[in-house]
Amino acid sequence: MLRKLIKFDLKSGARIFLLLHGILLAVGLSGRLLFMNHLDFSEATPALVSSIVLFASLTLFLLMAVCFCTWLLIAVRFYRNLFTGEGYLTWTLPASAVEHLWAKIISGIIWYTLDCLVVAAVILMLVTGQNVTDAYSVIAPEVTAELGMPLSTFGLYLFIVMIISCFSSVIMTYFCIAVGQLFPAHRVLCAIAAYFISGLIIQAVSMGLMLLLKLFPGINLSILNGEQLAQYMFSAITLSIAIMFAVSAAEYAAVHYIMKKKINLL
């Protein structure tokens, strides 16, 4: 039954997801062919810098908009399918609360992972042109020395962290929605409040642990050499991942309890 629930979730959101990310890929390809491939980095003129900044800003806005739409798709499917009138039909299916929850978690992680892959593909599409790579090769040694690793390796680490955070993002979204449905008169408002309150608590705990472990970014990072900076980033990333999994475990337990004991349909 779990496999059928996952298949249904993926099928129900496939059209919107493919449309959004198809548009994103088309825009990325157009940007590569019509803009990036025509840049001349031989002279850093103000016009060149301004055009790159404007293009990068628009691209970043588009990437954020698509990522937000993916999150919205996951959140709406979870809320509508389990906590609205549609939930009366959903809960009549021969599946337990745990199966419903894990179907939503797995489908949400799949959507987020695919979203990250498409975003990464668009970024690579834009920055792997011959003119861009030739221009970067000139400053590559300095960048590697500052980061303590090649930029490609640094980008790969960031991508891995982004993939790992998919699970945490899905669980946190479901946790906030599940808490919000406990208040029938203000479900959406309480879900938003739960999101901000939980976010503040997580930030406070994270800052406390970073201070305790002397990883708080208040130190002057500019005085660190490449090797020290790389070590600092690895330590900070490891701590962030540990916090993400600990918070996700607590939020999962809360969602699991609510879905088994506190379901309140409209």
pLDDT digits (tens, 9 = 90+) for 103-131: 999 999 999 999 999 999 999 999 888 88
Range picked from 63-77, 89-103, 132-146, 147-161 for highest mean pLDDT: 63-77
pLDDT for 228:
65
Domain assignment present for 168: yes
pLDDT for 216:
60
Q: How many separate domains does the chain show?
A: 1
Domain assignment present for 266: no
And the tokens for 260?
Answer: 């088994």
Mean pLDDT score, 161-166: 87
pLDDT of residue 224 exceeding 70, the answer is no
What does the alpha-carbon distance between residue 180 and residue 249 come to, in Å, rounded to a whole number? Answer: 19
pLDDT for 264:
65
pLDDT of residue 63 exceeding 90, the answer is yes
Handedness of CA 243, 249, 255, 258 (dihedral sign): negative
pLDDT for 243:
85
Domain assignment present for 63: yes
Domain assignment present for 169: yes
SS3 241: helix
Range of the domain at 231: 2-261
Domain assignment present for 91: yes
Domain assignment present for 241: yes
Domain assignment present for 145: yes
- Report the amino acid identity of residue 27: V
Long-range contacts of 166-169 (CB under 8 A, 24+ apart): 166/108, 166/109, 166/112, 166/113, 166/116, 167/105, 167/109, 167/244, 167/248, 168/244, 168/245, 168/247, 168/248, 169/71, 169/112
What does the alpha-carbon distance between residue 55 and residue 61 come to, in Å, rounded to a whole number? Answer: 10
